């Protein structure tokens, strides 16, 4: 997996995963796909962008996605985020609607969430690649084991964190991760685990709207001395990637 970068602290934490047989098989699969001329999103240097943007010791909030956007110009390695200048997808529109309802933050002019990652919000997809136009096409190829290891490393760190689990896929994945169990506010796990329906237009009205994840996350972080997240997005995205 040349062409990719990974934060050195993540390499020290889960770098051993790259030596596992499943990762070798994943590497062969991705090489074969590219050799067949298939377009894979995001570009290789962004496969580990979520981990590269947020060091393990800096994680305060974890938001789990499923797989990257499969349309051109959208995915860049942070779940739910899109490149500057790209139309905001429906699920992210609903996230912004809930953010406005929850904290009074007006909808941003773009959907680039890098400023959240810079503050310790780990925006991690379950699968880190996808074939263009083929949702879920890289599921079951090995990425899930790698991201399980990353989530388990975050959960094993006792510093209190917030895990925001939107939809059954994220909730089932988190339930299988060692060290992540029900808790928050002093019960069981040191972390706060919040569950809600996915922000997709198909399910957002079934309990996502009104769930107030952003204020609850900040209340928990402040109560545990970890500081609040500034959920506002800057008018000009930080470190916006070039084509």
The residues assigned a catalytic role are 67
Q: Please state, in angstroms and rounded to a whole number, the distance separating the CA atoms of residues 49 and 71.
A: 18
Q: Please state, in angstroms and rounded to a whole number, the distance separating the CA atoms of residues 76 and 112.
A: 9
131 by DSSP, 3-state: which? strand
How big, in percent rounded to 5, are the helix, strand and coil portions of the chain? 40, 10, 50
Q: Do residues 148 and 177 lie in contact, with contact meaning Cβ atoms separated by under 8 Å?
A: yes
112 by DSSP, 3-state: which? coil
Q: Which helix (H) or strand (E) holds 148?
A: helix 143-156
Helices (H), 4-142: 8-14, 21-35, 49-53, 90-103, 114-118
Of residues 34, 40, 46, 33, the one with CA closest to residue 79: 46
Beta bridge partners of 147: none
Q: Please state, in angstroms and rounded to a whole number, the distance separating the CA atoms of residues 225 and 222.
A: 5
């Amino acid at each position: 997996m040349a062409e990719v970068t990974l934060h050195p602290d993540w390499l020290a934490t889960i770098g051993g995963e790259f030596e596992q047989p499943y990762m070798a098989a994943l590497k062969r699969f991705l090489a074969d796909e590219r050799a067949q001329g298939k377009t894979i999103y995001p570009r290789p240097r962004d496969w580990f962008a979520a981990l590269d943007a947020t060091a393990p010791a800096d994680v305060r909030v974890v938001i789990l996605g499923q797989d990257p956007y499969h349309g051109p110009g959208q995915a860049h390695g942070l779940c739910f985020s899109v490149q500057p200048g790209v139309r905001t997808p429906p699920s992210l529109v609903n996230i912004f609607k809930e953010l406005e309802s929850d904290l009074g933050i007006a909808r941003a002019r773009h959907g680039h969430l890098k400023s959240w990652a810079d503050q310790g919000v780990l925006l991690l997809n379950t699968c880190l690649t996808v074939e263009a136009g083929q949702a879920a096409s890289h599921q079951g190829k090995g990425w899930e084991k790698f991201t399980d290891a990353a989530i388990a490393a975050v959960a094993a760190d006792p510093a209190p964190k917030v895990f925001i689990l939107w939809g059954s896929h994220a909730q089932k994945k988190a339930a299988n991760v060692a060290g992540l169990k029900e808790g928050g506010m002093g019960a069981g796990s040191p972390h706060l685990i919040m569950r809600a329906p996915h922000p997709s237009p198909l399910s957002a009205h079934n309990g996502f709207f009104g769930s107030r994840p952003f204020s609850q996350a900040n209340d928990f972080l402040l109560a545990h001395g970890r500081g609040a997240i500034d959920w506002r997005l800057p008018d000009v995205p930080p470190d916006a990637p070039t084509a």
